[in-house]
A and B are shown apart, each in its own frame.
Chain A
Amino acid sequence: AQSVAQPEDQVNVAEGNPLTVKCTYSVSGNPYLFWYVQYPNRGLQFLLKYITGDNLVKGSYGFEAEFNKSQTSFHLKKPSALVSDSALYFCASMDSNYQLIWGAGTKLIIKP
């Protein structure tokens, strides 16, 4: 069965430092991977996706994600964190039935 793992419940980063939110996946066939962000009391918002092509995917708000097939990872990154990036981040994978398999989420806290 397909699965998505986000190994860290919470990530703490100082403002201005680079951030990484980790995601690993287990899929059969080609992986289709997504990152969504959820700000407090808001619905989820799409950040970026990997379908095919370049391993480095650029998305909204300065975020990017690196697809690594050998490590089955799709880590979310940003070169310089902002306090406003503090939110809940979800990684998801699409299965062969076009259904999204969601990770449990990682709470990102950016400290001033």
Chain B
Amino acid sequence: EAGVAQSPRYKIIEKRQSVAFWCNPISGHATLYWYQQILGQGPKLLIQFQNNGVVDDSQLPKDRFSAERLKGVDSTLKIQPAKLEDSAVYLCASSPSYTSIGANVLTFGAGSRLTVL
């Protein structure tokens, strides 16, 4: 079974520039998550999709961050304009179905490391 694919693995940008991250979840997984992980901290949920609908985006800074999962498969997370504090690893994860507790085991991608200068 192929894992969760993310790209790019690394990105360096200047503040106020824009950046986009792509994620392709495991085939058949209905739930897709974007997390932000700052060095030394636990992951922080940015947005969660169930198929192509948003379940939770309460911690997404909507003035600069946006995400979409138009066909219920792959997803894109965009930051525009970037700030210094956005430097972090952006993790994508998927699970079969978040409402099934026993099945709600997340599979993570390797992450996209963003450095904002």
Q: Point out residues on A near B: beta carbons under 8 Å.
A: 32, 34, 36, 41-46, 49, 51, 90, 94, 97-100, 102-105
Contact = CB atoms under 8 A, between A and B. Distances in A.
Task: Name which of B43, B48, B91 has the most chain A CB atoms within 10 A of its CB.
Answer: B43
A46 B43 CA distance: 14
Task: Name which of A41, A98, A103 has the most chain B CB atoms within 10 A of its CB.
Answer: A98
Given A42-B110, A43-B109, A43-B110, A94 B104 contact: yes
A38 to B, nearest CB: 8
B107 interface: yes
B98 interface: yes
Contacts of B45: 99-100
Interface of B: 4, 40-45, 48, 56, 91, 93, 98-99, 101-102, 104-111
A89 to B, nearest CB: 11
Given A99-B56, A105-B41, A105-B42, A45 B99 contact: no
B107 A46 contact: yes
B99 A44 contact: no
Nearest to B108: A43
